Structure 1
Amino acid sequence: MRSWACRAVPRAGSGHAADPLKFDVIGLLARHPKMAQRFLSYKGWLLQRGELPLRLRELAILRVAHSRRSAFFWGEHVKVAGDGGVSAGDIERLAAGNAGFDGADLVVLRATDELLNHGRAEPSTWRQLTDTLGTHQAMELIFVVGTYAMLAMAFDSWRLPPPAGSAALPKHNATDGTETTQRTGAD
């Protein structure tokens, strides 16, 4: 079954070519309909049919957003994370590092940091992931982190602003091991 986004891509943003800031996400992706349809299908499966629990997925996405300084994804996923049981306190702690997290949350955050900083999870981290989550969920985590890191780069390159009313991206904490030079999308 095709998602509404995949059906909308050929129509969204047609006739507009100049300024990415005038587009929403679908409008931007509509500039390359074949790629957009395939990408949205993949991303839809990952988010809606994958086995990784919503809470863990959203912790990873928020860490990517914070690390890559993606105001767009931070604003969007603070809302979604609440639906997955991520509290305001969890979000505040996540922006400051890994203190206060344990169990699967901590393993996911450590793995996310390693993936973002080194492009891989260390063997000991991979073992912890598979022991804690199982192979399928551990594999999905790598794809979630990679997908959102890629999207953060794309949206930053296109200067896509965060949706109106989104949660503000917190100040960057260099002690959390996620120091980057990425822009917020607002510059």
Structure 2
Amino acid sequence: MAKLFAPEPDQMSEHQRRVYDAIMAGPRGRVRGPLAVWLHRPGLAEHAQALGQYCRYDSSLPPRLSELAILTMAALWRSDFEWWAHQPIAVKAGITPEITECIRQGKTPVFVEQDEALVYEFIGSLVENRRVPDELYQRAVRLLDEPSVVDLVGLAGYYTLISMTLNVFDIQPPEGESRFFAHAHD
């Protein structure tokens, strides 16, 4: 059970309501998951949701690669909600269900597309080693370009914040939906 829910709209401060309305009017169209938690601190919610909107909708990365990066982050952080929310989007964007299942199971997928293999390796190295080797960085710049590498790092940072929020406040998929990762506290 989630530890913290969004404030009720009729109980929100003016700042909370302004942020809530901005989220509702944006491409997400709803307030859930980490955004609901962040509304308790509207200054955080305001800036985090703007960064999230950039990472999801305005990045130089094509949706296929950004969704692959998001799923990789969700698996590395074992974030059920994030997996539940993004796995269908990733498949729709062109990542095969077989690849998503390998990622969920912690297995390295066999990629056909070179840019997908690179994004998966880059995110894995960044999260597990807290950096990327020079050779991997140079390959990423050659294959994606520098602005896209900047966006990829920004996306990884944002989805670290998302995953931390989801895990600390135990935000799970809606009731009746599957959990995707085994958890030590279960």
TM tier, smaller: 0.7 to 0.9
| 8 Å Cα contact 1:6-1:36 kept in structure 2 | no
Q: 1:153 to 1:109 in 2, by over 3 A?
A: same
Give the equivalent residue in structure 2 for 1:86. Answer: 95
Q: Distance in 1 between matches of 2:23 and 2:179?
A: 31
1:97 equivalent in alignment to 2:102: no
Q: 1:151 to 1:35 in 2, by over 3 A?
A: same
Q: CA deviation at 1:7?
A: 3.9
Higher mean C-alpha displacement, 98-107 vs 44-53: 98-107
Q: 1:152 to 1:11 in 2, by over 3 A?
A: closer
Q: 1:107 to 1:11 in 2, by over 3 A?
A: closer
Give the equivalent residue in structure 2 for 1:144. Answer: 155
- TM superposition outliers: structure 1 runs of 4+ over 2 Å: 9-12, 23-27, 93-99, 163-168
Give the equivalent residue in structure 1 for 2:40. Answer: 31
| Per-residue Cα deviation, 1:133-173 (whole angstroms, up to 9, x for no partner) | 001111111111121122111211111112345554156xx
Alignment gaps of 5+ in structure 2 = 1-16, 25-31
| 8 Å Cα contact 2:80-2:173 kept in structure 1 | yes
Q: 1:7 to 1:146 in 2, by over 3 A?
A: closer
Question: TM-score, structure 2 length as denominator?
Answer: 0.76
For the aligned residue pairs, the C-alpha RMSD in angstroms reads 2.7
Give the length in aligned residue pairs.
161
Q: CA deviation at 1:11?
A: 11
Q: CA deviation at 1:55?
A: 0.9
Alignment gaps of 5+ in structure 1 = 13-22, 172-182
Give the equivalent residue in structure 2 for 1:161. Answer: 172
Q: Distance in 2 between matches of 1:134 and 1:6?
A: 37
| 8 Å Cα contact 1:59-1:81 kept in structure 2 | yes
Matches within 5 A, 1:1-187: 7-8=19-20, 24-95=33-104, 96-102=106-112, 103-164=114-175, 166=177, 168-170=179-181, 183=183, 187=186
Q: Distance in 2 between matches of 1:78 and 1:6?
A: 30
Q: 1:24 to 1:143 in 2, by over 3 A?
A: closer
